[in-house]
Amino acid sequence: MKNQRITVFAGHYGSGKTNIAVNYALYLKKENIAKKVTVADLDIVNPYFRTNDSARSLTENGIRLISSAYANSNIDAPAMAAETMTIFDDTSQYGVIDLGGDDRGALAIGRYKKRLGEQISKNILLVVNIYRPLSRTPAEINEIKSEIETAAGFKFTGIINNSNLGAKTRAYDVLNSVPVIDEVSSLLRLPVEATCADIKLLAELTGKIPDLFGLKINTPLVLQNTLATDEK
């Protein structure tokens, strides 16, 4: 994954973009890629699992979190903190943006799309899990991509393969997703920037998949080196 100053993670519901956003922010800090890292939770669609759930881990590791006043509530309203604008204005920091699922969630970044477009150093990444409903085929994934781009007013720059089956995921599940994602990459004409996997599977996957990025999943997040050894 290219370490750009602004990184946006977007994708279908359940793609795992929030977990990736948090792990990636921790990685930026751990590897001293950026002294200042800010995570903006713009997911206005799903109030049940948000970046805000990892606020303590982010704060303990010196990472700033910007989230909606409605995070962790049952109120679903597009009320984003004005602080989000500082991610685009303060070039001394790295910003990680967790965007809501599909076209409805993508609307949240509409007010920032001009500033996002002005950023030379940016990743806008489509997170894909082929084991989730409605994102199992290249055609379905292409439809999701088009819906998000139309709603948000930006174009994706790359793909993140986060294909998993939750706690039941095995190394071969990740390996089996690679040919499908390669087909998606060819159809969408976008590079695969990384393949994510639980850190428990890295020993089995290292050397078999390029650009492997390890995640600590569904546990209290701690600062750690999440990249596979041969990917540094």
| Chain center to CA of 216 | 14
* Residue-level pLDDT at 216: 85
Query: Strands 122-128 and 6-11: what pairing?
Result: parallel
Helix (H) or strand (E) holding 7: strand 6-11
Selection from 209, 216, 175 nearest residue 194 by Cα: 209
* Domain-located, residue 218: yes
Q: How far apart are CA 12 and CA 16, in angstroms?
A: 9
* Residue-level pLDDT at 2: 87
* Domain-located, residue 1: no
Give the chain's radius of gyration (CA, Å): 16
* Domain-located, residue 212: yes
Q: 215 - beta bridge partners?
A: 198
Q: What is the pLDDT along the chain (232 residues), one digit of tens a residue?
A: 889 999 999 998 889 998 999 999 999 999 989 899 999 888 766 544 456 667 888 888 999 988 765 544 544 444 455 788 889 889 999 999 998 766 666 777 777 888 888 888 999 999 999 999 999 999 999 999 999 998 888 899 999 999 999 889 999 999 999 999 999 999 999 999 999 999 999 999 999 999 999 998 754 333 333 444 333 3
Q: What is the CATH number of the domain that holds 165?
A: 3.40.50.300
If you write DSSP's letter for every residue of 153-201 in order, what string do you get?
Answer: T----EEEE----GGG--HHHHHHHHHHHHHHHHHHT--EEEEEEEGGG
* Residue-level pLDDT at 123: 94
* Residue-level pLDDT at 153: 86
Domain count for the chain, please give it. 1
User: Strand, helix or coil at 225?
Assistant: coil
Q: How far apart are CA 80 and CA 195, in angstroms?
A: 30
Give per-residue burial for 152-180: e unless 16+ CB within 10 Å, then b. bebebbbbbbbbbeeeebebebbbebbeb
Query: Strands 212-215 and 192-198: what pairing?
Result: parallel
* Residue-level pLDDT at 223: 34
* Domain-located, residue 164: yes
* Domain-located, residue 216: yes
Contact by Cβ (8 Å): 130, 74: no
* Residue-level pLDDT at 29: 93
- Burial class from Cβ neighbours inside 10 Å (0-12, 13-18, 19+) for residue 38 reads buried
**How many Cα atoms sit within 13 Å of 156 on the Cβ side?**
29
Residue 140 CB neighbour total at 10 angstroms: 17
* Domain-located, residue 176: yes
Q: Is the pTM of this model over 0.75?
A: yes
Q: Which residues form the domain of 109?
A: 6-231
- Site of tokens 């998993």: 164
- Site of tokens 């990472």: 63
